Amino acid sequence: MRDKTKMIHGGITGDDRTGAVSVPIYQVSTYKQDGVGNLRDGYEYSRTGNPTRHALETVIRDLENGEAGFAFGSGMAAITSVMMLFETGDHIVMTDDVYGGSYRLVANVLNRFNLGHTFADTSDPAKVEAAIQDNTKALFIETPTNPLLKITDLKKMKEIADRHDLLLIVDNTFATPYWQKPLDFGADIVLHSATKYIGGHSDVVSGLVVVNTAELAEKLHFIQNSAGAVLGPQDSWLLMRGIKTLALRMEAIEENAKKLVQFLTKHPQVSKVYYPGLEDHPGHETAKKQAGGFGGMISFDVGSGEMADKLLERVNYFILAESLGAVESLISVPAKMTHASIPAGRRNELGITDGLIRISAGIEDAEDLIDDLKQALE
């Protein structure tokens, strides 16, 4: 089955009993047993398993070509649950311009449990090698990164992971399985903030994980059930609904993103545009090799915080908001919003300046989006 078909017919579809074409929302906490321990369909309590959540977990498994899928109450709940695979004294190497929440989790929460970490520029394999210690257990990669859209070579990360016997974990939120399938490149775990493109309509907070072996599946299910950060049935259903149009949305978003990039690169007020689809982007060739598309995220520098503020005040269609990956175009200033939890010194080191603006292209008419930016930049 190809991806566009999987999004409609993959996983578990409909309801055998009634013929309903949409998976029912099993809004239920517990299940009647026909005698002690005699379960009708394997379900006993909805933290452990719920049919609506299971249908979602099956379709994301199919889309990522993995062994098993898991749905969590947020992207951070998904990442936290994956981190619980490690033990105190272990160490992980993480992409340096990783999502701010992931940075905060390892730097300010998991450090208290003595899970060590080193941030490294994973777009440079030599820097990843240099960050590995005797107790390193995993590489945690984001590609493209947020907000500078740096690209990490998945094949090279797999080689390093194999050489040092590390788990390769990829946050695939920006690319989605429609454009990029990390497990096909040998990653062990792929995860998503499904709040973003997979949900796609700015109406649900959620996280998804897919693992590539039965052993990891058993361990993660144990953690999911023990820690209990599960996604509810209603939100699981919303994600399945989102997945049905994921291909269409990703195509439309990328088309708009390319037109916006074309406009921005020519504009005199814009000093730099970050987009992996640009030929002069350092990760362009790698992105072309490992992903089917370049995505809908664009960052550009307008030179100063004041310029950025003015632009944000004037745009009409771009909604000033955190988050990304929705049908509506969103705009933000990473230094003051998504990446505010990263210390200023570190932000400047990474290139996340006060004048850096991030756009998440939506599916509106591209001409309206361009006109909007044009009047705001003038």
Catalytic residues: 47, 99, 171, 196
Measured from each CB, the residue nearest to ligand PLP is 75
242 is a site residue for ligand PLP (CB under 6 A): no
Least Cβ distance, residue 324 to ligand PLP (angstroms): 6
96 is a site residue for ligand PLP (CB under 6 A): no
By CB under 6 A, name the one of 11, 200, 207, 362 that touches ligand PLP. 207
256 is a site residue for ligand PLP (CB under 6 A): no
Beta strands in the chain (DSSP E): 68-72, 91-95, 116-120, 136-142, 167-171, 189-193, 207-211, 272-274, 297-301, 319-320, 330-332, 356-360
142 is a site residue for ligand PLP (CB under 6 A): yes
Least Cβ distance, residue 63 to ligand PLP (angstroms): 17
Say if CB 58 and CB 210 are below 8 A apart: no
By CB under 6 A, name the one of 52, 143, 146, 236 that touches ligand PLP. 146
Q: Tell me the number of residues near ligand PLP by CB under 6 A.
A: 15
Identify which of 130, 180, 129, 131 has the alpha carbon closest to the alpha carbon of residue 151. 180
Identify which of 240, 251, 206, 289 has the alpha carbon closest to the alpha carbon of residue 62. 240
**Number of CB atoms found within 10 A of residue 227's CB:** 14
What is the C-alpha to C-alpha distance for residues 164 and 326, in angstroms, rounded to an integer?
38
Identify which of 202, 210, 173, 191 has the alpha carbon closest to the alpha carbon of residue 297. 173
By CB under 6 A, name the one of 49, 51, 75, 362 that touches ligand PLP. 75
CB nearer ligand PLP, residue 58 or residue 206: 206
CB nearer ligand PLP, residue 166 or residue 175: 175
Identify which of 189, 176, 192, 177 has the alpha carbon closest to the alpha carbon of residue 92. 189
110 Cβ contact partners less than 8 Å away, ≥ 6 residues apart: 83, 117
By CB under 6 A, name the one of 74, 122, 123, 236 that touches ligand PLP. 74
What is the C-alpha to C-alpha distance for residues 242 and 212, in angstroms, rounded to an integer?
24
By CB under 6 A, name the one of 55, 76, 94, 250 that touches ligand PLP. 76
What the block records as the tokens of 299 is 């960052």
Least Cβ distance, residue 363 to ligand PLP (angstroms): 19
CB nearer ligand PLP, residue 327 or residue 370: 327
12 is a site residue for ligand PLP (CB under 6 A): no
303 is a site residue for ligand PLP (CB under 6 A): no
By CB under 6 A, name the one of 50, 80, 95, 173 that touches ligand PLP. 173
CB nearer ligand PLP, residue 25 or residue 337: 337
CB nearer ligand PLP, residue 81 or residue 195: 195
What is the C-alpha to C-alpha distance for residues 158 and 155, in angstroms, rounded to an integer?
5
227 is a site residue for ligand PLP (CB under 6 A): no
What is the C-alpha to C-alpha distance for residues 323 and 97, in angstroms, rounded to an integer?
16
By the criterion CB under 6 A, which residues form the site for ligand PLP? 74-76, 99, 101-102, 142, 146, 171, 173, 193, 195-196, 205, 207
